Amino acid sequence: MQDDVRPIGVFDSGLGGLTVARAIASGLPHESITYLGDTKRCPYGPRDQSEVRRFVAQVGAWLNGRDVKAVVIACNTATAAALDLLQVALPVPVIGVVEPGARAAVRATRTRRVGVLATQGTVRSGSYEAAIHALDAGVRVFSHPAPRFVELVEGLLIGGEHLHEDWMANPEIFDTPPIRNIAREETEALADMGIDTVVLGCTHFPLLARPIRAVLGDDVRIVSSAEETCRELRESLEYRGDLAPDDQVPDYRFATTSDDITSFAVAGNFIFGHALESIERVDLDRVEPLPDYRNTDAGA
């Protein structure tokens, strides 16, 4: 289909995926976006994979009902747990953030020693190791969980602290002494590994890039998946002839599972860089989940 006006579906466990939605809005300015943050059940990181798969099956069904032309899983934990589920169950292309993050890291490293900061779920899954080694089996990968970062970011955002017109453009806002202390505790294990690149393997972490840099030092390159994911999305849409028309004014719609729509709107505005004008509350327990082929196969 040419000039496809349908939106891109994007989701995360909460607000962090808006860092990816922002990159999509900037790199593909004519594309409409429908974003869902499963804020009520955030964080996904400490949960086991089968639970995250169940959540993703619900989110995928909801997005499918919104007639999206592609889905971006803007959450590393959900990508690690259930990219395959959505790719099998949905009739549209599904792009995760782990492979793009791995590509960015492999491209950036010179010493071929790469750190990964991610949630426990992503680290446990070994997805980054697999994705990086699929590109270059010679890269040494040092993965480290930073579980407190997700709660820190969601808490700072929803708590309404540090309100500013644009958090992503002003990363120093989150570079305070208490946050640096947490960053030190969460990342110093990587400081002695001789890495020259660290991939932020959680879409919440770009907001903490400054304090992470303060711990790891200026010589360590910090990469994340947002821009690379957008590039992959563009290629996929182009290849299929599914790009939006050049004169399309994008329509951005948001949904959250949280009861507190106002906090989601306020915080989201400062990450996405545009006002979140259209927000609805969604009850995913009312949605019939997509089938998980793994369960079907097991039951067959």
Q: Determine, following the binding rule CB under 6 A, whether residue 284 of this chain makes contact with ligand DGL.
A: no
Q: What angle do CA 205, 207, 209 make, to 5 degrees?
A: 75
User: How far is 10 from 72, CA to CA, in rounded Å?
Assistant: 5
Residue range at the interface with ligand DGL (CB under 6 A); choices 61-69, 74-82, 190-198, 261-269 = 74-82
Q: What φ, ψ does residue 145 adopt, rounded to 5°? A: -80, 140
Q: Please indicate whether residue 202 is annotated as part of the active site.
A: yes
Of the candidates 90, 98, 202, 290, the residue annotated as catalytic is 202
Q: Determine, following the binding rule CB under 6 A, whether residue 75 of this chain makes contact with ligand DGL.
A: yes
Q: What φ, ψ does residue 163 adopt, rounded to 5°? A: -60, 130
Phi-psi region of 67 (alpha: psi -120 to 50; beta: other; left: phi over 0): left
Q: DSSP letters of 5-49? A: -PPEEEEESSSTTHHHHHHHHHHSTT--EEEEE-GGG---TTS-H
**Residue placing its CB nearer to ligand DGL in the complex, 94 or 243:** 94
Tell me the HSE value of 69 on the side-chain side, using a 13 A CA sphere. 21
Residues numbered 10 to 29 that lie near ligand DGL (CB under 6 A) are 12-13, 16
**Residue placing its CB nearer to ligand DGL in the complex, 17 or 242:** 17
Q: Determine, following the binding rule CB under 6 A, whether residue 143 of this chain makes contact with ligand DGL.
A: no
**Residue placing its CB nearer to ligand DGL in the complex, 183 or 243:** 183
Residue range at the interface with ligand DGL (CB under 6 A); choices 22-30, 83-91, 198-206, 215-223 = 198-206
Q: Could you tell me the two tokens for 266?
A: 């306020």
**Residue placing its CB nearer to ligand DGL in the complex, 4 or 151:** 151
DSSP code of 73? E
**Residue placing its CB nearer to ligand DGL in the complex, 42 or 85:** 42
Q: Please indicate whether residue 230 is annotated as part of the active site.
A: no
- How many Å from the N-terminal Cα to the C-terminal Cα in the chain? 36
Choosing from 86, 150, 173, 199, the residue that interacts with ligand DGL (CB under 6 A) is 150
Catalytic residues: 75, 202
Which residues contact ligand DGL by CB under 6 A? 12-13, 16, 42-45, 75-77, 119, 122, 150, 202-204
